[in-house]
Amino acid sequence: MNRRDFIAAGGLLAATSLLSATPAWARGRRLRMGVIGTGMRGQVHLTELLRRDDVDVVALCDIEPIMLRQAQAMVAKAGKPEPKLYGADGDVNAWKRLLETRGLDGVIIATPWEWHAPMAIGAMQAKVAVGCEVVAGITLQDHWDVLETQLRTGTPYMLLENVCYRRDVMAALQMVRAGLFGELIHLQGGYQHDLRGVKFNDGNPAHPYDSGVEFGPKGWSEARWRTEHSVERNGDLYPSHGIGPCAMYTGINRGNRFTRINAFATKARGLHDYTVEKSGGTTHPSTKVTFKLGDVVTTTLACANGETILLQHDTSLPRPYSLGFRVQGTKGLWMDLNHGVHIEGRSPPHEWEDFKAYQDQYEHPLWKQYAGDAAGAGHGGMDWFVMHAFVEALKAQAPMPIDIFDAVTWSAITPLSEQSIAQGFQTLDFPDFTRGQWQQRKPIFAFDARY
């Protein structure tokens, strides 16, 4: 290479690195997005992305060709340009090539839990903004690694915790702010969802639910990977749906923080009994498996400002779905299970009132503005809100509504609850991921934002 070529090459290199050093999300324009994991959940997110006219879905990645083809067909049906496809060859690292897509602004990560931390870290290192499905990582160290990468790279990261956008949850937040409950004292929430028919199926993509007792390589969708966590782990495996709203109500990482945690687990019966009943005997290999996950895991958190929060993970027994929220203060309480509220001086003494009138009166401004747009979207509309928040924050180059500190704090409850249970239900210190900043940090959560 002569000197002129060398300088020209250097110039090109400089121009290229200038381009990559200023990712499109930092230039604020129409977004070029990718989706990693186009399974059941990834397709819900894809639906929301395809409905938008400020987003181009330019790349899709999944190692399961059926899921990838379904996602590809969705894009075609929406009349949008063909995205680049990755992973059809089954390469579990195909997502790394997706991240090299020119001008990629952001990715949605909707893969099995064990992939969230490495994929998010890889994306942030590549300056590709991350919208990550719950959870942030598996081990406590994963959570520190995801945090450190975000802080070092400055790449936006949002945990896509949709329950924070539930209509009644947001109305209850308005009530907290209006002081209806007085000073907050105790909160409850959880993930109470009979997943037996999700953790097992017959492995046929046509019937992902309630169709059999296979799991692992013979299962389909979540049965393929989620059930293994019930075999190997004992803790609150899915804390963010419950803790997200409770953390927002109590201002965690924003003037408050978790200080202590412990968890108790019951014996494990539900998953075994299900495989026996569903297969009609004890000969199927799934009936021989020992499940480590206690049927009901109860986690307690203490907060610096004196509140306690109780979470329950309950996914292996017959029960109707309920997240079991309770927000209780010096003047009253709301519970979602009975749609009930009681406010001293307003409600008849010792009686519940129906939440509906409060819901209407304290409707959150976001729901007032966007209920029509969210109509028909997954989980009663909240899936529209969570994607809207991520996209709008990215375009506005604004702080992420559910940011890295929220993500790791909520998600770290899993490894900490596992540790507590493993150590005989011991109470542990809760790490301060903000390293003291929680005392000065101001609220920036979506509930305060325009989206």
Closer of 224 and 313 to ligand NAD (Cβ)? 224
Q: What region does 209 belong to: left with phi over 0, alpha with psi -120 to 50, or beta?
A: beta
Closer of 230 and 262 to ligand NAD (Cβ)? 230
- Encode burial over 188-211: b for 16+ CB neighbours within 10 A, e otherwise: bbbbbbbbbebbbbbbeeeebeeb
State the CB neighbour count (10 A cutoff) for residue 154: 10
Contact 38, 68 (CB under 8 A): yes
> Would you give the DSSP letter of residue 289?
P
The sheet with strand 157-159 has its strands ordered as 84-86, 55-61, 31-36, 106-109, 129-132, 157-159
Closest approach of ligand NAD to the CB of residue 385, in Å: 12
* Contact call for residue 41 and ligand NAD (CB under 6 A): yes
* Contact call for residue 133 and ligand NAD (CB under 6 A): yes
**Cα 135 to Cα 381: distance, rounded to the nearest angstrom:** 21
Size, binding site for ligand NAD by CB under 6 A: 26
* Contact call for residue 87 and ligand NAD (CB under 6 A): yes
The sheet with strand 332-335 has its strands ordered as 353-354, 340-343, 332-335, 326-329, 184-192, 308-314, 296-303, 258-265, 428-429
* Contact call for residue 88 and ligand NAD (CB under 6 A): no
Contact 231, 386 (CB under 8 A): no
* Contact call for residue 406 and ligand NAD (CB under 6 A): no
**Among 329, 328, 353, which Cα is nearest to 342's?**
353
Closer of 199 and 254 to ligand NAD (Cβ)? 199
Contact 353, 347 (CB under 8 A): yes
> Would you give the DSSP letter of residue 181?
T
- Residue 426: alpha-carbon gap to chain centroid: 27
* Contact call for residue 83 and ligand NAD (CB under 6 A): no
Closest approach of ligand NAD to the CB of residue 26, in Å: 26
Look at strands 332-335 and 340-343 and give their pairing. antiparallel
Closer of 110 and 130 to ligand NAD (Cβ)? 110
Closest approach of ligand NAD to the CB of residue 330, in Å: 33
Restricting to residues 347-386, which ones interact with ligand NAD according to CB under 6 A? 379
* Contact call for residue 95 and ligand NAD (CB under 6 A): yes
Restricting to residues 284-343, which ones interact with ligand NAD according to CB under 6 A? none
Closest approach of ligand NAD to the CB of residue 361, in Å: 28
Instruction: Supply 49's token pair.
Output: 């992305």
Closer of 115 and 447 to ligand NAD (Cβ)? 115
* Contact call for residue 67 and ligand NAD (CB under 6 A): yes
Closest approach of ligand NAD to the CB of residue 22, in Å: 28
* Contact call for residue 34 and ligand NAD (CB under 6 A): no
For residue 198, CA distances in Å to 57, 71, 194, 210, 211 come to: 29, 21, 8, 7, 9
**Residue 375, CA atoms < 13 Å, CB-side half-sphere:** 5
Closer of 41 and 233 to ligand NAD (Cβ)? 41
> Would you give the DSSP letter of residue 277?
H
Minimal CB distance to ligand NAD: which residue? 39
Closer of 199 and 342 to ligand NAD (Cβ)? 199
* Contact call for residue 110 and ligand NAD (CB under 6 A): yes
Closer of 25 and 113 to ligand NAD (Cβ)? 113
Closest approach of ligand NAD to the CB of residue 329, in Å: 28
* Contact call for residue 268 and ligand NAD (CB under 6 A): no
* Contact call for residue 85 and ligand NAD (CB under 6 A): no
Closer of 68 and 333 to ligand NAD (Cβ)? 68
Instruction: Give me the residues that bind ligand NAD (CB under 6 A), please.
Output: 36-37, 39-42, 61-64, 67, 87, 92, 95, 110-113, 115, 133-134, 162, 221-222, 224, 379
